[in-house]
Structure 1
Amino acid sequence: MLIHLQAAGASFLLDARGPQPPSVLHWGAALGDLGDADLAALASSAAAAVPPSSLDTPPRLSLLPTLGDGWSGRPAFAGPGRPRWRLTEVSRPSPASVLVTLAAEGLLLALEIELSAQGVLRLRHRLDNTGRTAYDLGWIAMVLPVPSRASEVLDFAGLWAYERKPQRTTLRNGIWSRETRHGRPGHDDPFLMMLGVPGFSFRDGEVWATHLAWSGDKQLWAERSTLGPTVLGAGELLAPGEVRLAPGESYASPWTIAVWSPDGIDGLSARLHEWIRSRRAPAKPRPMVLNTWEAVYFDQSLERLMPLVSAAAAAGVERFVLDDGWFTGRTDDRRALGDWTVDPVRWPNGLTPLIDAVRSRGMEFGLWLEPEMVSPDSATAREHPDWILGGADAATWRHQLVLDLSVPAAYSHVLDSIAALLAEYPIAFVKWDHNRDLLEEGSAHRQTTALYRLLAAVKQRFPDVEIESCASGGARIDLGILDHVDRFWTSDTNDALERQQIQRWTSVLMPPELLGSHVGAPTAHITGRRGDLSFRLATSLFGHAGIEWDLTTAPPADRAVIAAWVAEYKQRRALLHGGTLVRSDGDDPAALVHGVVAPDRRSALYALVRLRAAGEAVPPPVRFPGLDPVRRYTVRPLVLGSPPRALQDAPPPWLAVGEVTLPGRLLTEVGLPAPLLTPEQAQVFTVDAES
């Protein structure tokens, strides 16, 4: 059977005529409406020439390529017995999906493929052991062909508080392989592997990309060879013996998310964001948050926090989150994880007085937890050393160990502890933290699947409670855990300068409303860098905004500015969280331009961000991507608190006037003269179409 899936200007053409595993004839630009005769002619003519010193049949890359098929690249499948797969069935569960079944001796493999209305491709394998003995799976991955014109690869590295650092190189003959072994994606998660035509950028160039929707160990790779096609591959990284299938058991691989764009990286984001929103749209507008961590740290008591509750309410905060330090014996980060009961010393009447104060002022209450972890100095660890992953003498990380959620009693302890808290208190939000790698060989698969079960169980019992995925910041941001959570903590750093790049690249995959972005204190907790309030506000605005600062220490003038900014956020969050994210392609290497354009393109919000000193006396104009070329728009500066600092004898005349009206084509292609901002400053602009 020849199957053509097409949506949103993208096509996926599959040759599943058998008897061998199916192959991809095309993944990329839409091919139009093709009849059966055209499909058959294309498939027949797609057979390549037979080169010298090779197999005696035309080379063919299937979706399950192995050495036995003549594929000398990284195989998609590894396991004992060298199975020879043969197609047994092809079905169409829906017009946008296909299910292919393959069989080998003692094994049955189902390949699921879907193309969403937004042009996003999802693929996964399900392997069933139909034999009489156990089967040790080495790995199973998805391998997709990409045209040879795609020769530049871009993915990500990083470290704690400095996540999502892009790295780019030319893909030469050989393999560019990224593997993570953290038991979570990690701060250096490759995240989204892109392979594009030379020079592809945010706004231009064809680009193909893959993401593995999985919160454990993974492998992503791009491979180019003189002996076969260029490919992108993705799959779970399994340790030897980690997945052993008893007779009758099955393994479902994580979904591989694959997307193509003719319009650069922003084109990828447009497809991915629309698709994610269609599946995980927030149930209500994203509330303005205040988190207590960088405000009070472990210094918790009703007396200490009541002034902050009042200050938060006065600023217009809608969700007050009590972070680490509320449970029994938790006076620092070296003890008490696993003992999830309210500390009777600091909270003699429980959390009820604080929660009542929060809710009486019109705010929701949220609570920090780190359910997967346990401190060696805790009642849980002392009483149940058999619950600890790797044993009680395992290496500590951040002075803590990991609870093995595959142990039924440990799993029940965690679920019961969370359920008790959510049943006793009106908690609307849980910040679910995960502050260390697993470090136990062969544990990632069982721990990740148990985590997903745990999150699903919590959601089933408490469907209205929102959960944030935090993993010492941004070490667990992926589309696998997104099925169970409502938001991500993007990074532990609230330094606005670092956040600009972290948020820029994390939002390539994730819509901004899912990415927590908080205004910190004037001096950043992690870097020690001081930042102007207007810069911190402009940075936080373009995400799920919040505050992580002891507002009681802020001068009255700053608190008034914060309240005005909160009101601005509320007024514009429908645009910020529902529009199309756009980024300019870097006319000025020392500056960033990014924005959000409304779906009807009648309004937009942009930021010009000066990262460092300009290399020219007069920097290039600010261009506004994504506007309707025909409509006329009025551009105005939006002041957040105080105007950003600029070193200039006079501003551009249009800014001195305060606005200018021009066709969208001119604003996008020509742009407007920029203010001469000093480093670490941002100017926000509103752009509104004429009525």
Structure 2
Amino acid sequence: MIHLSQSRSSIIFAHNGDSLEVLYWGKKLGAIDKAAAESIRAARTKPAFHGGLDVAPGNLILREHARGWIGHPALRGHRGGVNATNSFAVTSAVQKNQSMIAVFTDAIAGIEIEITYTLTPSDILLMDAKVTNTSEGDYFLEQFLYWLPLAEQADEVLDFYGHWTKERQPQRRSIDYGVITREGFEGRSGHDYTITQVALNHNTGFRHGEAWSLAMAWSGNNIHHVERLIDGHKSIGAGEYLLPGEVILKKGESYAAPRAVATFSDRGLDGLTNNHYSWIRSRTNHITKVRPRPLTLNMWEAVYFNHNEEGIRKMVDKAAEIGVERVVLDDGWFGSRRNDRAGLGDWVVSKDAWPNGLAPIIKYINDKGIEFGLWFEGEMVNRDSDLYRAHPDWILQEPGRIPVEGRWQQVLDLTKEGAYNHVLNQVDAVLSEYNIAYIKWDHNRHLTDPISDGRPVVRKQTEAIYRMFDELKKRHPGLEIESCSSGGGRIDLGMIEHADRFWTSDQNDPLERQQIQRWTGLVIPPEFLGTHVGPTVGHQMHRTHSVSFRALNALFGHAGIEWNINEADAQETETLKAYINFYKKHRGLLHSGTVVRSDEIIGDAQLYGTVAHDKKEAIFTYMQLTSADNFGPLVTTFDGLDKETMYQVTVVEELSASDFIQKKAPGWWPALTLTGDQLAHIGLQLPVLKPETGLLFHFKAL
């Protein structure tokens, strides 16, 4: 028996003859001696039932049908129609600290599988697998999935769906008999991607209950399962979705499966979130260890394709006045790109858009102490471009067929050396010529014919963009890259190893953004998530929101602005200054603290915050999304604080709602002192807020 254990979780592996199973995955167990191990094994051995085989299989890691498993196997493949079943024997299973490496062989099929399980100090379980062909002839790999068992009390599944401007919407349902499947084959993780899949109990909330999650650290095609079998097994699985013929292994060749990331929480969904944040933030190259996240002004919704140096200079003047730290010039600066029908692929500064080149505007920006960033969409090409006219063969396509277009563009085949080097070298030339600290990298369509020279290449295309990002950073130390894919179409735990920021969604409407940001943040820390103050009248929903509501929405992330700020009146400008100043003063806490999301505030409002690890400071936001069911009493409590500590509680009035549906404010308004225990149980009487307004609270230990 092998027992991996960290601060709050355990996973136990056990030999069963020549096979290996996961005996337990859940809440932390104490030390297990030999006698206890045998008792645990006996306690978890299933009976053989009538109508089944003479031996009931346990939670086999590879779930082979040849061993009696009746659900989905881990491996599916064949040798031209033969060797299609498997029975793996454990060659070795070795524990080192809180990791285990297991090697399995199937001598008949000629396949070896190595899987490494690592339980990190953050209670994140990392799984890495390699499938090797050890025999003569080609092995056609159809699928490899990671699987973990679920406890009986896991009776619901939470996953996410979405589309452009409405990504990561939650859906929660029963785990009934059969398989709940979410598949993505857009060639990217996608707007409809379930960023993680969560099994949980029907009573589990943000702050309480048990939950088990499994996600793929991968930006290509993907598959997620939750399976409940008639023999009593419940499992959660995930892996890369392989297209037919995508992986064919010759003798000695291996398939390295993308990493899977799992975790268990006995502290509700907030426990899952804080496990992920702790693990991601523990990396030596984590972005906040390099520098605080700069307040960013992106110019897309300010100017679109209408690049005018004089107008942009005026906007830069205002940006410097209010404290912006980075300005990003978006689409339209290159080639023949005066609209979205031409120019993609020609990464050369346009004389039409910028007669004097980019050097003067970059100097103007830098002279004000502001960084400059630039937009690219290097994986795409317009057919109306010099690149396509020279190399029409450099697109992903089924031979003899031009793929359907999206936004008048095709997908460059980055698995071809010429296409890859063209993009890399043109981008590198621009970065070498100018002082560019940051690039926003877009990806505005999914892959419909991901074929290169007749073979599917989603996997290779995904690996190519990872490699390109890494190479650009190697050539330009300190360069930061934002991953944008029509907004939130490529946000995942694979890209987080190569990009420094995600554009969370093209949706800037703060009411819509509340849900998008809440659930994207389930596994992605806020310092990665671009959250911007959009225009007064939103460009997506055409609703009007106060600048304070837009600012509160944008505060809990990598904050910024997406608006022609010269349109802001005096009051709006002062609020923007207050927003930027508060962000700069408190971003260290916002980008490091423990997440707290209220289970008490539901439906038409949200309460969420971040608490310092020493619990001496906290920031919470209450957002009234729609009208309240009643005028009062409206009471909110605040969890996650130290029970015995006395806190000064202050409403940050310059960023909070200023107009209420009431004759008189609550008796404590706008500040008072209470202990953490009192705040968690007695709470505060709220003012009666209008819809689409919010409050910002600051807590400081006395």
TM-score computed with the length of structure 1 as normaliser: 0.97
Deviates most, 664-673 or 180-189: 664-673
Partners of 1:91 and 1:408 lie apart in 2 by 40
Q: Deviations over 1:227-249 (max 9, x none)?
A: 14110000111111111112221
Partners of 2:465 and 2:363 lie apart in 1 by 31
Q: How far apart are residue 354 of structure 1 and its match? A: 0.8
Partners of 1:343 and 1:297 lie apart in 2 by 15
Tell me, yes or no, if structure 1 residue 516 matches structure 2 residue 530. Answer: yes
Query: What amino acid maps onto 2:117 in structure 1?
Result: I
1:102 to 101, 104, 111: 104
1:318 to 310, 322, 325: 325
1:52 to 50, 54, 61: 50
Identity %: 42
After TM superposition, the structure 1 = structure 2 runs for residues 101-140 of structure 1, keeping only pairs within 5 Å, are: 101-105=103-107, 106-140=110-144
After TM superposition, the structure 1 = structure 2 runs for residues 249-648 of structure 1, keeping only pairs within 5 Å, are: 249-279=253-283, 281-282=286-287, 283-390=290-397, 393-440=402-449, 442-641=456-655, 643-648=657-662
Give the secondary-structure state (helix, strand or coil) at the position aligned to 2:13.
Answer: strand
Give the secondary-structure state (helix, strand or coil) at the position aligned to 1:136.
Answer: strand
Partners of 1:64 and 1:144 lie apart in 2 by 10
Q: 1:10·1:27 contact (CA, 8 Å) conserved in 2? A: yes
Tell me what 2:22 maps to. Answer: 24
Query: What amino acid maps onto 1:478 in structure 2?
Result: D
Q: Deviations over 1:323-364 (max 9, x none)?
A: 111101110111111000000122122211011011110011
Partners of 1:369 and 1:241 lie apart in 2 by 32
Partners of 2:211 and 2:511 lie apart in 1 by 28
Partners of 1:493 and 1:316 lie apart in 2 by 24
Q: Cα–Cα, structure 1 residues 642 and 118, in superposed 2: closer, same or farther, change >3 Å?
A: closer
Tell me, yes or no, if structure 1 residue 187 matches structure 2 residue 191. Answer: yes
Deviates most, 154-163 or 558-567: 558-567
Q: Deviations over 1:241-280 (max 9, x none)?
A: 1111122211111111111100110010111101111125
Q: 2:549·2:657 contact (CA, 8 Å) conserved in 1? A: no
Q: How far apart are residue 154 of structure 1 and its match? A: 0.6
Partners of 1:648 and 1:431 lie apart in 2 by 45
- Structure 1 residues without counterparts, runs of 5 or longer: none
Q: 2:549·2:656 contact (CA, 8 Å) conserved in 1? A: no
Q: 1:644·1:683 contact (CA, 8 Å) conserved in 2? A: no
Query: What amino acid maps onto 1:514 in structure 2?
Result: F
Partners of 2:198 and 2:233 lie apart in 1 by 16
1:36 to 25, 28, 34: 34
Partners of 1:672 and 1:517 lie apart in 2 by 28
Q: How far apart are residue 619 of structure 1 and its match? A: 4.8
Q: How far apart are residue 367 of structure 1 and its match? A: 0.6
Tell me what 1:12 maps to. Answer: 11
Partners of 1:588 and 1:676 lie apart in 2 by 16
Tell me what 1:175 maps to. Answer: 179
Tell me what 1:85 maps to. Answer: 88
Q: How far apart are residue 102 of structure 1 and its match? A: 0.9
Tell me what 1:163 maps to. Answer: 167
Partners of 2:355 and 2:261 lie apart in 1 by 49
Tell me what 2:59 maps to. Answer: 61
Q: How far apart are residue 546 of structure 1 and its match? A: 0.2
Q: Deviations over 1:132-166 (max 9, x none)?
A: 11111010001100111100111101110011100
Q: How far apart are residue 45 of structure 1 and its match? A: 4.2
Give the secondary-structure state (helix, strand or coil) at the position aligned to 1:476.
Answer: coil
Q: Deviations over 1:68-104 (max 9, x none)?
A: 2222112211001123211112233x41211111111
Q: How far apart are residue 642 of structure 1 and its match? A: 6.3
Q: Deviations over 1:187-235 (max 9, x none)?
A: 1111111111112111111011111111011110111122141100001
Deviates most, 481-490 or 611-620: 611-620
Partners of 2:687 and 2:239 lie apart in 1 by 47
Q: How far apart are residue 641 of structure 1 and its match? A: 4.6
Q: Cα–Cα, structure 1 residues 174 and 87, in superposed 2: closer, same or farther, change >3 Å?
A: same
Q: Deviations over 1:627-674 (max 9, x none)?
A: 11121212111123563431111121111xx21211211211231111
TM-score computed with the length of structure 2 as normaliser: 0.96
Q: Cα–Cα, structure 1 residues 126 and 619, in superposed 2: closer, same or farther, change >3 Å?
A: farther
Tell me what 2:453 maps to. Answer: none
Q: Cα–Cα, structure 1 residues 121 and 531, in superposed 2: closer, same or farther, change >3 Å?
A: same
Partners of 1:37 and 1:58 lie apart in 2 by 23
Partners of 1:137 and 1:18 lie apart in 2 by 27
Q: Deviations over 1:287-329 (max 9, x none)?
A: 0000010111111132221111111111111111111111011
Give the secondary-structure state (helix, strand or coil) at the position aligned to 2:234.
Answer: strand
Query: What amino acid maps onto 2:174 in structure 1?
Result: T
Query: What amino acid maps onto 1:13 in structure 2?
Result: I
Q: Cα–Cα, structure 1 residues 520 and 226, in superposed 2: closer, same or farther, change >3 Å?
A: same
Partners of 1:648 and 1:11 lie apart in 2 by 52
Q: 2:64·2:86 contact (CA, 8 Å) conserved in 1? A: no
Give the secondary-structure state (helix, strand or coil) at the position aligned to 2:350.
Answer: coil
Q: How far apart are residue 67 of structure 1 and its match? A: 1.9
Query: What amino acid maps onto 2:100 in structure 1?
Result: V
Deviates most, 621-630 or 260-269: 621-630
Query: C-alpha root-mean-square deviation of aligned residues, in Å?
Result: 1.4
Query: What amino acid maps onto 1:202 in structure 2?
Result: F
Q: Deviations over 1:21-53 (max 9, x none)?
A: x21111111111222342244234432221112
Deviates most, 253-262 or 104-113: 104-113
Give the secondary-structure state (helix, strand or coil) at the position aligned to 2:515.
Answer: helix
Runs (4+) of structure 1 moved beyond 6 Å?
none
Query: What amino acid maps onto 1:171 in structure 2?
Result: I
Partners of 1:349 and 1:362 lie apart in 2 by 22
Partners of 2:470 and 2:92 lie apart in 1 by 33
Q: Deviations over 1:104-147 (max 9, x none)?
A: 13221111110000100011210111221111101000110011
Deviates most, 81-90 or 596-605: 81-90
Partners of 2:388 and 2:155 lie apart in 1 by 51
Q: How far apart are residue 555 of structure 1 and its match? A: 1.5
Q: 1:587·1:620 contact (CA, 8 Å) conserved in 2? A: no
Q: How far apart are residue 16 of structure 1 and its match? A: 4.1
Query: What amino acid maps onto 2:144 in structure 1?
Result: I
Q: 2:91·2:105 contact (CA, 8 Å) conserved in 1? A: yes
Q: Deviations over 1:491-533 (max 9, x none)?
A: 0011111111111111111111110000011011111011101
Partners of 1:121 and 1:619 lie apart in 2 by 44
Q: Cα–Cα, structure 1 residues 661 and 227, in superposed 2: closer, same or farther, change >3 Å?
A: same
